[in-house]
Chains A and B, each alone.
Chain A
Amino acid sequence: MPVIIKNTPFQPYQALQHYEETALGQNNAVGASNIFIGTMRDFNEGDQVKVMTLEHYPGMTEKQLEKIIAEAHQQWNLIDSLIIHRVGDIFPNEPIVLVAIWSSHRGDAFDACRFIMENLKSKAPFWKKERLINEQERWVLTNTNGYLNT
């Protein structure tokens, strides 16, 4: 159930393949895998965004993410999970976050992945600062509740 914070770009599909071939190994009980990948888009609040800097609270980030994962493993029947999250400078189209769940059944995989993602959004101490194409810089003030988005 690793939590990995990276300050350099990562390739989520390669990371997944590597994890499945090494740490997870061949597990014949796996019947469902659910993957969420969040990437940086080049617009926010009607403005073009050039680059984003992600700050975090080292130590607390890992502690909170490990708590969220532990809660998910308590609530659903999961075989394994993996979180990778970027910090530092991130450019449009680069991956920000990967949440992967392995379980025997799809319900657990879907629900736990969503739970981890929504809790990460509201509890893990990361903060985004955007630089717009006109060089203006601004902090992102709040994350929206993913369950309320249309």
Chain B
Amino acid sequence: MSIKIRYFASLKDYIGRSEDEISYENVLTVTEVWQQATQNKVKPQNTLVSVNMDYVSWDDLVNDRDEVAFFPPVTGG
């Protein structure tokens, strides 16, 4: 099973890339997806996360083929 991961704005700069794809066997939480994709990089404070373009919490589970995105607080408007 695989998960697509996207990074935006300052978090993309911090990670050094805009996308990742990880394969896994057991069901992962959002926190575990972060740990695997970033090789346990320290998570900047206030990092937000979405799954399939909806906000979720860090304990939520991720399913096969979900798109997970990590990004800093939003600053539009």
Residues in chain A within 8 A of chain B (CB atoms): 38, 54-57, 59-60, 63-64, 85, 96-97, 117, 120-129, 139-143
- Contact A57 B75, CB 8 Å, known A125-B8, A127-B8, A127-B10: no
Tell me, rounded to whole Å, the shortest Cβ–Cβ distance linking B56 to chain A. Answer: 12
Residues of A within 8 A of B69 (CB): 57, 60, 125
Known A-B contacts A57-B53, A60-B50; A97 and B9 likewise in contact (beta carbons under 8 Å):
no
Bin chain B's interface residue count. 10 to 19
| 9 A–B contacts, CB within 8 A, in A order | A55-B9, A97-B76, A121-B76, A121-B77, A124-B76, A124-B77, A127-B74, A142-B46, A143-B75
Selected contact of B77 from candidates A38, A64, A142, CB within 8 Å: A38
Return B21 CB to nearest CB of chain A, in Å: 17
- CB–CB B10/A139 < 8 A: yes
Q: From residue A70, how far is it (CB to closest CB) to chain B in Å? A: 14
Q: What 9 A-B pairs come out closest when comparing CB atoms?
A: A126-B76, A127-B9, A60-B53, A140-B75, A139-B10, A121-B77, A128-B75, A63-B53, A142-B73
Residue in chain B with minimal CB distance to A138: B10
CA A123 – CA B54 in complex, angstroms? 10
Cβ of B58 under 8 Å from chain A: no
